[in-house]
């Protein structure tokens, strides 16, 4: 925010995507051809079948369904590499991951949640800078709408405090700290990785879905490690050697591999994070704040990119 109390908007130096989507055009043409054929058949039945109103109703429903398929809602993604700190706290809100799957024109309203004036616009390939001058917890809300009135929303929890967000397990809270042993005999503490974006994955060699997700985690590491991503694997195997064997035999040597006794039901780190299904992933920003919780398959690269 500048001296006049307005938020500053800066561009991202990337080329805008072409709004013309060839696949959508082809799909639309196909639907028109099908609709014409169905209409022709129904008109014939109108003169031959006393129950023709049934077919007419089906036609109306079919056309309505086609309209829904051709007009999907926009996508709203509100991201920021920093969401906590001492006042005054400047937050660079990134709108560049918003879009419309049909290539339609969209607009946005961004409410910062601190009683300042919301801003609106049509350009999404931007960074919106806003400064929070007072301490407290705020919820920034982004609303994206298309010309048909379809809307999508996304939110970020902003904490302006010397202590940062409270410790918890939800997005926007500070991840619980812990100390654990690596499978090669070292000892690490989670808070030592402040300044890095940290991906914590709870897994086990005993778990087929966990094993099948390792290539995805390796891809994320390969793409973002040089920019500050660290991957911590918390093994819930009964024996430490099970984790060691699987990782070494499959070439997964870039991760920080952790193991504590207790198996999947009594592993102290899994208990601390209340994890009872596997695989399960937490993504922490550089301040140690949780930014994603869930299955690793749904951790999109764009989420990580916004934190680096």
What tokens does 177 get? 């700290």
Rounded Cα–Cα distance for residues 142 and 228 (Å): 27
Alpha helices in the chain (DSSP H): 22-46, 52-70, 208-224, 240-249, 263-266, 268-272, 301-305
How many Cα atoms occupy the beta-carbon half-sphere of 177 within 13 Å? 9
pLDDT of residue 10 exceeding 60, the answer is: no
pLDDT digits (tens, 9 = 90+) for 95-125: 999 999 998 999 999 999 999 999 999 998 8
Rounded Cα–Cα distance for residues 289 and 281 (Å): 14
Q: How many CB atoms lie within 10 A of CB 100?
A: 22
pLDDT of residue 137 exceeding 70, the answer is: yes
Rounded Cα–Cα distance for residues 112 and 108 (Å): 13
pLDDT digits (tens, 9 = 90+) for 39-80: 566 556 555 555 555 555 655 665 555 555 567 999 999 999
Grade residue 1 by pLDDT with cuts at 50, 70 and 90.
very low
Average pLDDT over residues 16-31: 46
Rounded Cα–Cα distance for residues 140 and 124 (Å): 16
pTM of the model: 0.73
Buried b (16+ CB within 10 A) or exposed e, 233-264: bbbbbeebeebbebbeeeebeebbbbbbeeeb
pLDDT of the residue at 5 = 45
**Treating both helix axes as pointing N-terminal to C-terminal, what angle do 22-46 and 52-70 enclose, rounded to 10 degrees?**
170
pLDDT of residue 303 exceeding 50, the answer is: yes
Paired with 100 in beta bridges are: none
What is the longest distance spanned by two Cα atoms in the chain?
A: 83
pLDDT digits (tens, 9 = 90+) for 214-250: 999 999 999 999 999 999 999 999 999 999 999 999 9
What tokens does 15 get? 């080329």
pLDDT digits (tens, 9 = 90+) for 162-217: 988 999 999 999 999 999 999 999 999 999 999 999 999 999 999 999 999 999 99
| Bond into 131 cis (ω within 30) | no
């Amino acid at each position: 925010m500048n001296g006049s109390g307005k938020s500053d908007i800066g561009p991202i130096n990337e080329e805008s995507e072409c709004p013309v989507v060839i696949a959508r055009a082809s799909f639309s043409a196909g639907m028109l051809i099908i609709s014409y054929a169905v209409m022709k058949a129904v008109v014939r039945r109108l003169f031959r079948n006393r129950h023709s109103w049934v077919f007419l109703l089906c036609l109306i429903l079919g056309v309505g369904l086609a309209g829904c398929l051709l007009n999907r809602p926009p996508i709203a993604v509100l991201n920021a590499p920093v969401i906590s700190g001492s006042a005054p706290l400047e937050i660079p809100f990134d709108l560049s991951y918003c879009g419309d799957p049909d290539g339609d024109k969209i607009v946005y309203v961004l409410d910062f949640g601190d009683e300042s004036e919301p801003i609106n616009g049509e350009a999404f390939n931007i960074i919106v800078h806003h400064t929070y001058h007072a301490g407290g917890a705020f919820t920034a809300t982004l609303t994206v709408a298309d010309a048909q009135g379809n809307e999508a929303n996304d939110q970020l929890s902003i904490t302006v405090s010397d202590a940062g967000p409270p410790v918890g397990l939800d997005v926007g809270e500070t991840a619980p700290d812990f100390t654990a042993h690596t499978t090669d005999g070292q000892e690490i503490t989670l808070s030592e990785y402040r300044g890095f974006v940290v991906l914590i994955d709870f897994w086990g060699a005993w778990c087929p879905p966990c094993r099948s997700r390792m290539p995805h985690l390796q891809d994320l590491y390969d793409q973002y490690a040089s920019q500050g991503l660290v991957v911590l694997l918390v093994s819930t195997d009964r024996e430490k050697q099970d984790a060691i064997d699987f990782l070494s035999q499959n070439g997964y040597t870039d991760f920080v591999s952790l193991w504590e006794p207790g198996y999947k039901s009594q592993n102290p780190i899994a208990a601390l994070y209340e994890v009872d299904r596997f695989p399960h992933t937490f993504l922490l920003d550089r301040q140690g704040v949780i930014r994603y919780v869930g299955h690793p398959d749904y951790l999109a690269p764009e989420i990580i990119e916004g934190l680096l």
